[in-house]
Amino acid sequence: MNISLAPVLTPERLAAGYPYTSYRQLIDELLEQQRTTGPNQSEALTNYTQLNVQRMSRIDKTLVLLPELREAVANLAGRYVWLVITEGWCGDAAQIVPVLEAVVQASAGKLTSRYLLRDENLDLMDQYLTNGSRSIPKLVVLQADTLAEITHWGPRPAVAQALFLSLKAEGATHEEYAEKIHGWYGKDKTRSTQQELLQLVQKLT
């Protein structure tokens, strides 16, 4: 674990983050205006966001946490904040953010979550680059009392990240690798994400 004593952000900045329901509501309200989160706006991004809402809603309704993950969060001794850097147009975020929130909801108050938009928080995002890229979603686990970082995770489970890098190396277009990555998520049914989050939570205990 990468334990730091310095707070990652101020309590005021954390409080300005979105709870999950507010994050989802923001995306819905923007879609009604044919818009998405972030400064870049296009028909393609709006269409991705519409798909992402469907993905998040499906996972919210069907997700069943692994019993061992549910037990691990129930046994947490301390209290932590799960700070998630995300955007509504991000397909990986749509597949992962509902899983993160389900773990938080299973923790009986030992975990709380806040969602920050990447492009409104680039100074924070740039502390958590992946191979030099602002890849999201990114989970940063903070001590609840000090807001110091305990560990971080993301943007994808290891298998999905390896697939992504392989496809990029082969010169796949965005549409090609998005199709294959989302196909992988569909077959995996959140298992890899949950297994990696289980390992993370077990380290917290």
pLDDT per position as a tens digit, 92-119: 999 999 999 999 999 999 999 999 999 9
Which pairs count as long-range contacts for 166-174, CB under 8 Å and 24+ apart, including other chains?
none
Give the mean pLDDT of 108-136: 97
**What's the mean pLDDT when you consider all of the chain?**
96
pLDDT digits (tens, 9 = 90+) for 15-56: 999 999 999 999 999 999 999 999 999 999 999 999 999 999
pTM, 2 dp: 0.96
What is residue 3's predicted lDDT score, i.e. its pLDDT?
A: 57
The number of beta carbons lying within 10 Å of the beta carbon of residue 188 is 16
Mean local confidence (pLDDT), 65-71: 98
> Model confidence over 168-184: pLDDT tens digits?
999 999 899 999 999 99
